[in-house]
Copies of this chain bind each other. A is one copy, B any other.
């Protein structure tokens, strides 16, 4: 070991473990080069770059780096090579299991490809969303996965040369690739299931229909009615806002004002509100009322009876987003915008049964 290397190692060890001070001077490629008796360029090539270095040198450099505890500096590398291995992920609410699963799938795939995930919550707020986009631009991320609130966000990112994959929803046109559940098909299948059980008055609890998500689910709901020649009473489409309490209130009105025999919640949060109200009324599920939801989350199989749901394979959705984005970044994809529709799966459980009389 060179005197320099020894000193460096000793310095680190002498550093009191408690107060982590940034004064720890970390070894650089220069130091490794000196230690290994080669030039900095060679160190760079030997350690990280695709460039050539003979096996012997490579081994020597690796050993030297190891010995003096060298750690690459991503900032320097990113600056020089004008790239980054950080990917921005911009979602609405990590506490919602849908987004958490989505992020988990994304992270899994990114990690496997040696990328990092920078996760930002925007709380569904356009202003927060734009602030986050700005930050990600500043970080020079090569790509962002976003559940967009506004079309502006993906647009601005793209204008600045950042690849964008929209997850779960499509906003506007031409704003990056999209990965989402086939909402129409899923909702249609779920509605079909209820119609087949004899229900003709099915309430749909839904929060938004402007984005492709809600629009698709509503379209599927309508389509199933058409398919089955059942007239759809528009009053049974219960618009609510995006939180469990509002959903509960809306469910109350729906049950009071219309004699529905089944209720579909358009997502897992609304289902929470609906179920709370239904439990409160001590309605027998499914004898008096059938209940189902789009977006299967763990608790839905734990309640009694377990809920019939549409599983949109959220984790896999996330993985797809990441794979697609990485392929884009690597330039492996044709220019044309890609829209991936992941087929969901109907899971029939105990909460849906024949319509009463």
Binding site for B on A (CB under 8 A): 1-2, 5, 12-13, 15, 17-24, 26, 45, 49-52, 71-76, 78-79, 82-84, 86, 93-95, 97, 100-101, 103-104, 107-108, 111, 116-121, 134-135, 137-140, 142, 155, 157-164, 174, 176, 272, 275-276, 279, 298-299, 302-304, 315, 328, 331, 335-337
A331 touches B73 (CB 8 A): no
5 pairs of A and B residues whose beta carbons are closest in the complex:
A299-B299, A24-B161, A1-B51, A2-B52, A100-B100
Cβ B73 vs Cβ A138 within 8 A: yes
Are A75 and B79 within 8 A (Cβ)? yes
A90 to chain B, nearest CB (A): 11
Contact (A2, B303) CB under 8 Å given A20-B161, A21-B331, A103-B94: no
Are B18 and A331 within 8 A (Cβ)?
A: yes
Q: List 30 contacting pairs A-B, 8 Å CB cutoff, sorted by A.
A: A1-B50, A2-B51, A5-B50, A12-B160, A17-B159, A17-B174, A18-B337, A19-B335, A20-B158, A21-B161, A21-B163, A21-B331, A24-B160, A26-B160, A71-B134, A73-B140, A74-B140, A75-B78, A75-B84, A79-B79, A94-B100, A94-B104, A95-B101, A108-B121, A119-B119, A279-B304, A299-B299, A302-B302, A302-B303, A303-B303
Given A24-B161, A71-B134, A74-B138, the answer on whether A103 and B82 have CB atoms closer than 8 Å is: no
User: Which residue on B lies nearest to A276, using beta carbons?
Assistant: B302
Q: What are the residues of chain B within 8 A of A73 when measuring CB–CB?
A: 79, 138, 140
In the assembled complex, how far is the CB of residue A274 from the closest CB belonging to chain B, in whole angstroms? 11
**A17-B303 in contact (CB<8A):** no
| In contact, B52 and A1 (Cβ under 8 angstroms) | yes
A298–B315 contact, CB under 8 A?
no
Could you tell me the distance in whole angstroms from the C-beta of A124 to the nearest C-beta in chain B?
14
A80 to chain B, nearest CB (A): 9
Verify A18–B82 contact, CB threshold 8 A.
no
The complex places the Cα of A330 from the Cα of B83 at a distance, in Å, of 29
Inter-chain pairs besides A12-B160, A21-B331, A275-B302, 6 sampled, C-beta below 8 Å = A1-B51, A17-B174, A95-B100, A97-B97, A118-B118, A304-B304
How far, in angstroms, from A24 to B159 measured CA to CA in the complex?
Answer: 9
* A2 surroundings in chain B (CB, below 8 A): 51-52
Tell me which residues across on chain B come within 8 A of A15, comparing CB atoms.
159, 161, 331
Which chain B residues border A50 with CB–CB below 8 Å?
1, 5
Minimal Cβ-Cβ distance residue in B for A137: B71
Q: Chain B residues with Cβ under 8 A from A279's Cβ?
A: 302, 304
- A161 proximity list for chain B (CB < 8 A): 15, 20-24, 26
Q: A179 → chain B, closest Cβ, in Å?
A: 16
Contact of A303 among B18, B299, B335 (CB under 8 A): B299
Q: Nearest-CB distance from A50 to chain B (Å)?
A: 6
- A2, closest chain B residue (CB): B52
List the B side residues contacting A101 at CB < 8 Å. Answer: 94-95
**Chain B hits for A95, CB < 8 A:** 97, 100-101, 104, 315
